[in-house]
Chain A
Amino acid sequence: MKAADFIYHRATGVAEALRYMEDYDGEARLLAGGQSLMPMLNMRLWRPAALIDINALSELAEVTAQGEETHLGALVRHATLETSPLIAARLPLLATMVRFIGDHQIRRRGTIGGSLVQGDPASEMPLGCLVLGAEINAVGPAGARMIAIEDFYDGAYATALEADELLTEIRFAVHPPHFAFHELCRRHNDFAVLSVAATGHFSADGGWHGLRIGLGGVNDRPVLAEASMALLEGSSLSDADIAAAGEAALGAIDPPSDIRGSAEYRAHLVPRYIAKALRDLRLSAQG
């Protein structure tokens, strides 16, 4: 399939990109890595009024340490997350998860901003950002605003961004010391049947604090297993704690039945995958 005709603009700055978006009344699409957009264009499933290429916006491609915070520009490529020493040191969960995205070619082009805006319920970056409690900076005609990742998704492939807003940056607070990630795929680095990411602090008293457990692929957006998190506060992550947390997570899910797996199977796997991640955390604290 070949794309239908489209108008193409290459923006040279954020302001110019915003102007183009305004010109097309929100009917244009931004082109970043293009890993989801281009197939949709070629299949003629999307027919934007125009494409606004933001790849020349080098100010959006930066990884910066701002005190304790780490800021990622929307155009930071997956391959950068995979190889940057700064990311390895400051956002190791993302550095781990990014290797589960597609293949080398996809990771060379794909961007974290594109992945967040695409909003696939099974994809890695939205889940990683959720578990790390990221904040998203969006710029529109009325100026900039910060959106908490917990408020970013309205559903599958649907975000809180307005049609004339541009995601420019993702900000992360200091990364918890312990983290774990597991996912099940039908083939290597395919879209996840389900995925689990977890982070936490282990204190000298032998208890775990501030645990965050996120689940991908089992709802219309990545979700936190909040009941499980509450249950585990201060616990030692004993086998019994872990089993109880796995069961408690079932309240947070509403899994789909699709070609990758039935809802029933996904629900069966959720406690098992949570257990895998929590056992990893326990092990990480021991090591």
Chain B
Amino acid sequence: MSAVAAQRSLIGASLPRKEDDRLLRGDGCFTDDVQSAHQLEMAVGRCPFPHAEIRGLDVSPALALAGVEHILTGADVRALSAPLTVLRPVPGAPELPYYALAGERAIHEGQPVVSVVATSRALAEDALELIDIDYEPLPHVTDTLQALAEDAPVLHPGVLDSNLLARHEDRAGVPEERMAEADIVVGERFRINRVTAMAMEGRGVVARWRPGARQLSVYASTQTPHLLRHQLAESLRLDEGCIRVAASDVGGGFGQKLGIYPEDLLAALHAMALGRPVKWIEDRLEYFRASTHAREAVFDFAIGARTDGEISAITNRYTTDLGAWNSSFGSAQLSSVVFTGPYKLADAVAERRVAVTNKTPIGAYRGYGQPEVNFAREVLIDRLARRLGLDALEFRERNMLRPEDLPWKTPSGAVYDSGDYVKTLRMAGEAVGYAAHRAAPRRADGDGRLKGIGFASFVERTGYASARFLANRGSIFGAHESVTLRANRSGDIDLYTGVSTFGQGSETAFAQICAEILAVDYESIHVHAGDTASSPLNTGAFASRTLIAAAGAIREAADELRGKALRIAAWVLETAPEALEVSGQVVRLRDDHSRSLALSDIFTRAIIGQGIPPEETPGLEASAHYAPDEAAFSFGTAAAVVAADPESGEFSVDRLVMVHDCGTAVNPLLVEGQVLGGLVQGLGAALSEDLIYDPDTGQLVSGSMLDYFMPTAADVPPIELLHSEIPSPVTSFGERGVGEVGTIPPAAALANALCDALSEFGVELSRLPLTPESVWRALKNAKGANP
């Protein structure tokens, strides 16, 4: 390790991505690229109502259609499989039964009700039209808070008495007393919009069953092949050994592709009934109702402070919308973990309520509660500063934890490992010329627009504290990652990982670390990702934890493999392993480079067991599992510069600056890609994206690309990234997670910039998205309140 740490040549290098060559040539292999002989296609009939009794269903006309091979109904699914299972249940909450197809009652628009397999997708859709389903619409509830009202229809009457799935509190100190003593308290109700991740590749699955071999092969667009295999085994009541799950290229994950979905199970059931491969590819209209939504929540957030500007208490009482069912990851849980942000205070409480509504189930999405609570807290921080007559930047700085305060146990019980929060705040302020902006007189530009600057600081949890922590929360996965390294006779290394490739660049980062430790060429590492048949059991890629955990596993496995290779080489060269070094594709004496042995020679000896020391066993491969001891906490500050029209509410985002620290950057190019991608998703959620349900009909009204305002490339404002790089003491190479960070601060930074621009009107913003019309309404309200 010490020798490795000293080199550091590949770790920190912006190597080109291993994935790019095939992707840019159009040679990726996504789910729909999997073509099998005799393949059939599946289409799913979905409930058009938010809540309905299914009184009857006649599939006979559809079955009579030539080319239709098989149909499954809710009754079939109940006979053939168990309900879908959950990976990350809500602590303390009962299980909500949810089968792959609705039975006597459907509880959200888009819930699968019937499934047809035919010789083509078009034919399967023709067949769906022939199936007469007798729905009796029932009273529904789509509003998060109304779902908890006494007169709301209870959606899971067998399990719950109301739509409150769970209530949980994390607290430290005496926040209510501190709040009562505070000189000033600001509080607000914040509404966070419901959004969706919008991966370029929707979900998809190809299932094949070989009855003679009792072997189910499932190709799926998933972030968690091994967990999906486990969940399929549970619902199909099959031994895990009968199931192989493979994800080759995955066109985007973002947390949405964690664990099992109904269609995975349906494709498997059809394939097992028919003995023919069955493919289902989600189309974009289905996607809007069939893949999990995210974020929707209502926060009642309050901050108390003394007149001198010291924050004394935070109360964070919020309700997250679960949708109709607890999906594999359910609604976000981190709004209770990082809700005090980078600020130093001892007295705080987070109360989380989970409400069930007649909407598409909520699932994990990049940030998982952190963007939501960041919006509430950072907008109120600015408002509090304004009320106190303090500068927003100075007010933050005054209350921030200092490097010497860390490690710091927050009121939620999380332990921030290390960092310099004030540094990122100052960097952001300097980057946008904040001091000059503060000093300059307020003057509209030629278009009548006023300039505003806003900040948002954050601390982000990346990775999991431990398997013990996860066990306490009822999660059925661990905190570790694993890798198998296998030498081959070409002198290269095959690296096997259960982490599928969905754009995060893990193939590249894993190869970099592996090549670094083995001191071999980066090109000689062949990464084989996402196949349960070849990879060691692992957790999966989510929670910004892949690299944090995998780096340790790669290090251990590579050390083991390297040790054995050097022992064999030393035996052949009649020297001691310590006298040897690996350089490129050879092992040589440190002192005499002319005495060397090709890696292909050493690896061949080991693999065939010929010409190796008598005490060594044949073979040259190593597997390792590694879990970090603690979560690592990334941090930073974003700044937004806007120009806003005080008459119309229209505004432009002129600059977005992100200062962030993800510790040691294994590959700065990947870091930049991750942060930029997250920022753009954060901007979309902040400014335009909104899944709106009509309260009267319970229908999703923005359920297509026509009405869901995902930004295009042309909508992205100029973005500047600034890096701080303070190594984390709790991870193998000092790295912190980076996958989700970009989603966290944009909304608050933009809202604060708008409030700054329109400060003379007293504008306050508290709901997302921030649209020209919503700013105009806030202006009208403010002008009404302060004429």
Task: Mark A residues whose CB is within 8 Å of B.
Answer: 1-5, 43-44, 103, 184, 186-191, 259, 261-262, 265, 268-269, 272
Contact = CB atoms under 8 A, between A and B. Distances in A.
Interface stretch (B51-59, B118-126, B474-482): B118-126
Contacts of A269: 648
Nearest to B702: A259
Nearest to B707: A259
Given A1-B125, A4-B126, A188 B702 contact: no
Given A187-B709, A259-B692, A2 B122 contact: yes
A164 B776 CA distance: 47
Contacts of B772: 184, 265
A38 B129 CA distance: 19
20 contacts: A2-B120, A2-B121, A2-B125, A3-B122, A4-B126, A4-B129, A5-B126, A187-B688, A187-B712, A190-B709, A191-B706, A259-B701, A259-B702, A259-B707, A261-B773, A262-B773, A265-B773, A268-B776, A272-B647, A272-B648
Tell me the dominant secondary structure on chain B's binding face.
Answer: loop
A269 B711 CA distance: 23
Contacts of A191: 706
Interface string B682-707: 00000010001000000001100011
Interface string B106-143: 00000000000000111001100100000000000000
Question: What does DSSP make chain A's interface, helix, strand, loop or mixed?
Answer: loop
Interface in B745-771: 771
A262 B774 CA distance: 11
A186 B125 contact: no
A252 B555 CA distance: 72
Contact of B285 (A1, A187, A261, A265): A1
A186 B688 contact: yes
Contact of B648 (A1, A44, A262, A268): A268
A268 B702 CA distance: 24
A265 B776 CA distance: 8
B183 interface: no
Contacts of B710: 187
A188 B714 CA distance: 6
B692 A187 contact: no
B715 A188 contact: yes
B234 interface: no
B20 interface: no
Contact of B712 (A4, A44, A103, A265): A103
A191 B709 CA distance: 11
Given A186-B709, A259-B707, A265-B773, 13 more contacts: A2-B122, A4-B125, A43-B285, A44-B129, A184-B772, A186-B771, A187-B688, A187-B710, A189-B712, A259-B692, A265-B776, A268-B648, A272-B647
Contacts of A190: 709
Interface in B1-31: none
A187 B711 contact: yes
Nearest to B649: A265
A58 B119 CA distance: 38
Nearest to B769: A186
Contacts of B647: 272
A43 B772 CA distance: 31
B715 A187 contact: yes
A188 B712 contact: yes
A103 B715 CA distance: 13
Interface in B623-658: 647-648, 650
Nearest to A259: B707
Nearest to A191: B706
Contacts of B709: 186-187, 190
Contacts of B122: 2-5
Contacts of B706: 191
B283 A1 contact: yes
Contacts of A2: 120-122, 125
A146 B121 CA distance: 44
Contacts of B129: 4, 44
Interface string B767-785: 0000111001000000000
A51 B706 CA distance: 24
A201 B21 CA distance: 57
Contacts of A184: 650, 772
Contacts of B773: 261-262, 265
B457 to A, nearest CB: 28
A44 B707 contact: no
A2 B284 CA distance: 12
Nearest to B716: A188
Contacts of A261: 773
A2 B124 CA distance: 9
A2 B127 CA distance: 12
A1 B290 CA distance: 14
Contacts of A3: 122
B32 to A, nearest CB: 14
A19 B711 CA distance: 44
A259 B689 CA distance: 11
Contacts of A44: 125, 129
Contacts of A186: 688, 709, 771
B45 to A, nearest CB: 12
A251 B647 CA distance: 21
Nearest to A262: B773
Nearest to B124: A2
B25 to A, nearest CB: 21
Contacts of A262: 773
Nearest to A273: B648
Q: Report, nearest first, the 4 A-B pairs whose CB atoms are least far apart.
A: A2-B122, A188-B714, A265-B773, A186-B709
A189 B120 CA distance: 35
Interface string B395-408: 00000000000000
Contacts of A4: 122, 125-126, 129
A188 B647 CA distance: 22
Interface string B259-283: 0000000000000000000000001
Contacts of B715: 187-188
A244 to B, nearest CB: 17
B630 to A, nearest CB: 41
A4 B709 CA distance: 28
- Of residues A187, A262, A268, A272, which shows the largest number of chain B Cβ atoms within 10 Å of its Cβ? A187
A92 to B, nearest CB: 23
Contacts of B283: 1
B718 to A, nearest CB: 15
Contacts of A188: 711-712, 714-715
Nearest to A266: B773
A189 B129 CA distance: 35
A1 B707 CA distance: 18
Contacts of B121: 2
For A3, A5, A44, A269, the residue with the greatest tally of chain B CB atoms inside 10 Å of its CB is A269
B431 to A, nearest CB: 26
Contacts of B126: 4-5
A2 B711 CA distance: 26
B110 to A, nearest CB: 14
A269 B776 CA distance: 11
A273 B455 CA distance: 32
A187 B772 CA distance: 11
Contacts of B711: 187-188
Nearest to A265: B773
Nearest to B774: A265
Contacts of B692: 259
Contacts of B702: 259
A186 B688 CA distance: 7
A184 B776 CA distance: 14
A184 B710 CA distance: 16
A1 B688 CA distance: 26
A265 B688 CA distance: 16
Nearest to B125: A2
A145 to B, nearest CB: 34
